[in-house]
């Protein structure tokens, strides 16, 4: 039963992660392509909030994937 609950949570997390990544605005400028000095964890208003939620959801996604890989069916 726990396995199936985790599968449902995994699919929901994956869907939300895809939605959040696609809803973010891309950074502008050629410096990103050339490896210029950009702050990876800088807050950017509303986009900064979406970024933080995306990072948290990515960690949740990875943890659920790890747990699913280690529990017996």
**Which residues neighbour 31 within 8 Å (Cβ) at sequence distance 6 or greater?**
37, 38
Q: Is residue 63, in this structure, part of any structural domain at all?
A: yes
Torsion from C-alpha of 16, 21, 22, 28, nearest 10 degrees: 160
Domain interval for residue 57: 1-19+47-72
Q: Is residue 27, in this structure, part of any structural domain at all?
A: no
**pLDDT at position 62 over 90:** yes
The domain tally of the chain equals: 1
Give the dihedral sign, CA 50/54/52/24.
negative
* Residue-wise pLDDT tens digits, 3-56: 999 999 999 999 999 999 999 877 666 555 555 555 555 555 666 788 899 999
Q: Is residue 64, in this structure, part of any structural domain at all?
A: yes
Q: Is residue 13, in this structure, part of any structural domain at all?
A: yes
Bigger pLDDT: 63 or 34?
63
Q: Is residue 53, in this structure, part of any structural domain at all?
A: yes
Q: Is residue 40, in this structure, part of any structural domain at all?
A: no
User: Two tokens at 11?
Assistant: 């699919």
* pLDDT band at 2; cut points 50, 70, 90: very high
3-state helix, strand and coil shares in percent for the chain, rounded to the nearest 5: 70, 0, 30
Q: What is the pLDDT of residue 54?
A: 94
């Amino acid at each position: 039963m726990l396995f199936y609950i985790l599968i449902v949570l995994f699919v929901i997390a994956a869907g939300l992660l895809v939605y959040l990544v696609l809803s973010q605005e891309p950074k502008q400028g050629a410096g990103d392509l050339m490896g210029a000095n950009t702050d990876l964890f800088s807050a950017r208003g509303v986009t900064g909030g979406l970024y933080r939620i995306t990072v948290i959801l990515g960690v949740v996604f990875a943890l659920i994937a790890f747990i699913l890989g280690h529990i017996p069916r």
